[in-house]
Structure 1
């Protein structure tokens, strides 16, 4: 008796891999270097929805929703994230992207507060700020 097993026909064909596009260019979403950030507030009540930050030295920028603002902050984040993605697609550094957003501060449900632009030691500091009640 032979110890060889018959070949399963579905494994007898060549393997094909489909290349998937990585999508649009994006900034990194974390930085341990100094960042600048500004506050986004709700147009209706003025509550803080979140923060947009950009790294001074890294090619990193992101929207950080304020946890206490709940779903409204997550919803508004799509708008600011899209603006960051568009800026990265144009090859704009994060500091310039923040300046452009502050020049046109209106979002869907929120608006940027230009006078809130400030520094933080890193992205984790902005995340910690967003996690506070």
Structure 2
């Protein structure tokens, strides 16, 4: 009996990845136009980030507040998922924000800060705001 272990060819063969077009619908992740945004806070009321939207470019996204740390980054997944779901339902970006306001639950781990719907002159300005706090 040989002491050599036989290595399966599945473990040594080259992998071939084929690019697949399509996938779930997504909002554009960039715009240079003004954006509407919501302030998102954690259960303690600390700002963790912003959900933003621009209908003209069919753009929307989540901007984390870096000072919020890992928790803010992780909670952002919830808000990004809400945007993906809204796009799949065919909602315009600002309609997605309206749904988030209506469905926000203050007892959840993160929620929309009451009365926070605002406008920034650009996505860059919103990102700067997030970085300053």
Q: TM-score, normalised by structure 1?
A: 0.81
Indicate the SS of the match to 1:70: helix
Are the counterparts in 2 of residues 42 and 109 from structure 1 also a CA contact under 8 Å? yes
CA distance in 1, matches of 2:17, 2:79: 34
Number of the residue aligned with 1:11 = none
Number of the residue aligned with 2:83 = 84
TM superposition outliers: structure 1 runs of 4+ over 4 Å? none
Alignment of 1:106-117 (within 5 A): 106=105, 109-117=109-117
Question: Unaligned regions of 5+ residues in structure 2, if any?
Answer: 1-15
Question: Unaligned regions of 5+ residues in structure 1, if any?
Answer: 1-15
Alignment of 1:67-106 (within 5 A): 67-106=66-105
Cα displacement string for residues 38-94 of structure 1 (whole angstroms, at most 9, x for unaligned residues): 101111x21101000001421000010101001011111100000000111111100
Cα displacement string for residues 110-132 of structure 1 (whole angstroms, at most 9, x for unaligned residues): 11013010111111111111111
- Number of aligned residue pairs: 117
CA distance in 2, matches of 1:19, 1:52: 30
Are the counterparts in 2 of residues 38 and 114 from structure 1 also a CA contact under 8 Å? no
Number of the residue aligned with 2:50 = 51
Are the counterparts in 2 of residues 105 and 114 from structure 1 also a CA contact under 8 Å? no
Q: TM-score, normalised by structure 2?
A: 0.81
Distance 1:19 1:121, change over 3 A: same
CA RMSD of aligned residues (A): 1.8
